[in-house]
Amino acid sequence: MTRPDIAALCDVVDATWPPAAFHRTGPWVVREGRGGGQRVSAATAAGPVTEADLDSAIARQRALGQTPIFMIRPGDEALDGWLAARGFRVKDPVVLYLAPVAALAEAIPQVTAMTVWPPLQIQREIWEQGGIGAARLAVMERAEGPRTAILSRRADKPAGTGFVAIHDGVAMVHALEVSANRRRLGAGRYIMRCAANWARAQGAEWLSLAVTEANLGARALYASLGMEEVGNYHYRVP
């Protein structure tokens, strides 16, 4: 069971939460997000870049109708500095979490969480309440590997939802959202256990996710489940 490195996890992000299109522009990969958020709209360096190369990435993003945004990963320190010098600010530092599926998978009561695809209307409503609208639901539809949505119930009511998909033996959880009036009842924990159970059934060996550094509540949950912080990235925007 080979542990995926940061580069592999970034590939998992692209495969399980895919943009509408990838555009190769010189040494850049420019993602076309179509309103699906910064993760599917960012440009990344696909090889060695120079400061002079920035203009082509910025121009391509503007041609797509997108505000320029760059994902800065380990090894992109020079790029980070050039963007800072141009006035691009850091936005949403992200932490990557990882754990063996076997460490999280365990039997859960049937009524606490279940997999369902396509998502039910109540899941769409929970996501909408959390700011995850049609453009992000379209991202889920684009994932080509094994995928499912998870619905959690607490106190006999729908409580939360999430999306999970698999690439190259790694399951990644996205869009985990718990209704405001159902928080602190264990819904997030059951969603993660359910995701691990589903991933194990699909043959995946690892469970992963990406969360902003500022989301301390979610990070506390993942730490309590034994998930390990394995890397970071951030964005730069004008």
pLDDT for position 153: 93
The pair of three-digit structure tokens given for residue 154, joined into one six-digit string: 């607490």
**CA pair distance 116, 174, nearest whole angstrom:** 15
What pLDDT digit, counting tens, does each position of 40-60 carry? 999 999 999 999 999 999 999
Flag residues of the chain having pLDDT under 70.
none
Residue 181: predicted pLDDT: 82
Stated as kind and residue range, the H or E segment containing 219 is helix 216-224
Residue 192's contacts (CB-CB under 8 Å, 6 or more residues apart) are 104, 162, 173, 176, 207, 221, 222, 225
How far apart are alpha carbons 61 and 73 in whole angstroms? 19
Please give the Cα distance from 207 to 96 (Å, whole number).
Answer: 11
Q: Take residue 224 and report the two structure tokens written for it.
A: 């309590």
List C-alpha distances in Å: 186 to 41, 63, 115, 147, 229. 32, 44, 17, 23, 21
Instruction: Look at the chain and count its residues.
Output: 238
Q: Which of 26, 118, 70 is nearest to 236 (CA)?
A: 70
CB of 4 closer than 8 Å to CB of 170: yes
Specify the 3-state DSSP secondary structure of 21.
strand
**Closest to 36 (Cα-Cα) out of 132, 112, 135:** 135
Single-letter code of the amino acid located at 108: I
Domain ranges for the chain: 6-95, 98-231
Q: What is the pLDDT of residues 173-215, one digit of tens each?
A: 999 999 988 787 789 999 999 999 999 999 999 999 999 999 9
pLDDT at 120: 98
pLDDT given for residue 1 in this prediction: 77
> Which CATH code is given to the segment(s) 98-231?
3.40.630.30
Q: What is the model's pLDDT at position 160?
A: 96
* Residue 122, token pair as written in the block: 């109540």
Helix axes 121-129, 134-142, angle to 10 degrees: 120
